[in-house]
Structure formats: structure tokens, C-alpha cells
Structure 1
Amino acid sequence: MLAGGALGGLAVALVAGDAYALQVGAFALVSAGLLGLVRPVARRHLETRSSEQVDGPAAHVGRTGVVTQRVDHRDGRVSLGADVWSARTEYEGAVFEVGETVRVMAIDGPVAVVADTVG
């Protein structure tokens, strides 16, 4: 917004020449106008997006992955897109073999907690 004000001052300098007071006035006027118009819109946009946006490990919850190393309640590996995660099953007796598709139910630190895609 200050760069826009500088462009306003430049435009006045090209038209009016060495009228420094006009250049500074144009800079101040354009900068204030841009701050008054653009800032509230940008702030509203950022506030609404931040409440809806899920990022980090939580973004993986609900995704499906493919088992790359047998997964039981203690350990295993799952491919989630281009990433390979340590994984464990959500329930004690469940076991998933290599090639099965599973759904990420939760993220527990560096471990994806997975369950059957049907359940």
C-alpha cells in the first residue's frame, strides 16, 4: 500500500515536475486510501480463512492410504500420497496387510491411527 502511494507520488512528479509538496501529498493520499480500502477486506479474508483452514498433521485425518508394511495395534507403515507414515490400528485386534487401503482416523504425534475404509 505504501508502494502504491509511492507510485502516486511518481505520477505527480512526472506531471508536475519539482513540486515536492504535491508529490508528498499524493503519496500520503494514495497510501491512506489504499490502507482504508484494502486492509479491511484483507483482514476479513484472513480471519474467515484461518478458522476454516486445517493444516499440518491434522490435514491427513480422513484421508485414505495404502499399507506398505503390515499394520497392527503396535506399528506398521502407511503411504499417504507421497509421504510414508508410521501407523497403528485404531482397535486392538485389527491387522492390515500390505496393499490394503485404510483411512486415517487420527494423528498421534508422528503416528497415523488407521482403520478399515468401510468402517
Structure 2
Amino acid sequence: MTALIWFAAAVLLAGAEALTGDLFLLMIAGGALGTAGITALVDLPVWGDALIFAAVSLILVLGLRPFLLRRFGHPPEHPTNTAALPGRHATVLRAVGTDDGLVRLGGEDWTARTLDPQIIYPEGEKVTVFRIDGATAIVFKEF
């Protein structure tokens, strides 16, 4: 019976980990699961269960969690949102100059201006995004 209580605690803690994502509750859930397994094999008093739970949880938190955080705790290596747009190609929808212009970039229309103030790109021209400045794409033409 005690093993079922520890198993239920492990399931609840693992479910709560899904809400936090910092791998701490998952390590505590591992401690509860380990205690459930040992309690199913050997009938210990409550203080024995508590010692096993504390020891297994401590080992997991101090031993396994740092490794898992190093391995899985980093954001994606590839850029997202506007950081992913430089280097992508766009089509000029309205002539792009130093102050005004419109390009189609990834299926969306973006206001645009040229990187070189001396150049104007006509409608239909293929350009490359140099950077995003606010909501404006700074573009140039690769040769």
C-alpha cells in the first residue's frame, strides 16, 4: 500500500514538472519512484521510506540534474523570429529606395529601404535582407 502512495506521488510530481520545466520536480519524482520500488520489495517503517526518498532525490538533484541542464537546458541554436530573416531573399513589390519601399519576404509584405542610399531597386527585383530595423527590412542586391 505504501508503494502505491509513493508511486502516485511520483506521477503527480512528474506531471507538475511539465508546468515548470526546470527538471527539479522530475528529480524529486525519481526519488519517489525509487522509494516506491524499494518499498514494494522491502517493508520499511515510514522514517526508512523518508531516508530512501531523501537519498535518491538528493543523488538525482545533485548528480543527474546538472548534466541534464547542460545537455537540454539551452535555447535552440538556430535563430528565430526577425533574427532568422537576414540573408533571406525577397521580391520588391514597390520600388525600394532610401526612404520607402515594399518587399515580399517569406509570404509577408515588409516595408523596406536600401542598404546603399545611392541605389533604388525597381519592382520585381530580387533582393537579400541585410538586417531588420524595427519593422523595416534593410535590403541589398547580391551580384
Instruction: Establish whether TM, by shorter chain, passes 0.5.
Output: yes
CA distance in 1 between counterparts of 2:61 and 2:114 reads 52
CA distance in 1 between counterparts of 2:118 and 2:69 reads 49
SS state of the match for residue 28, structure 1? Answer: helix
Q: Does 1:100 align with 2:125?
A: yes
Give the drift of 1:112: 1.0
Query: How do 1:1-119 residues align onto structure 2 when only pairs under 5 Å count?
Result: 1-17=27-43, 19-45=45-71, 49=74, 54-118=79-143
Q: Which runs of 5+ in 2 are unaligned?
A: 1-26
| Structure with the bigger percentage of strand | 1
Q: Deviations over 1:49-90 (max 9, x none)?
A: 56x664442322222222233322112222322433221111
CA distance in 1 between counterparts of 2:57 and 2:109 reads 49
Amino acid at match of 1:35: V
Give the drift of 1:42: 3.6
| Identical columns (%) | 34
Give the drift of 1:46: 6.5
Over 3 Å counting, the alpha-carbon distance change for 1:76 and 1:26 in structure 2 is: farther
Tell whether the 8 Å contact from 1:101 to 1:116 is kept in structure 2 after alignment: yes
CA distance in 2 between counterparts of 1:106 and 1:90 reads 9
| Alignment: residue pair count | 116
Bigger Cα displacement from structure 2, 87-96 vs 18-27: 18-27
Over 3 Å counting, the alpha-carbon distance change for 1:30 and 1:83 in structure 2 is: farther
Q: Which has the higher contact order (CA 8 A, sep 6+)?
A: 1
SS state of the match for residue 116, structure 2? Answer: coil
TM-score, normalization: structure 2?
0.64
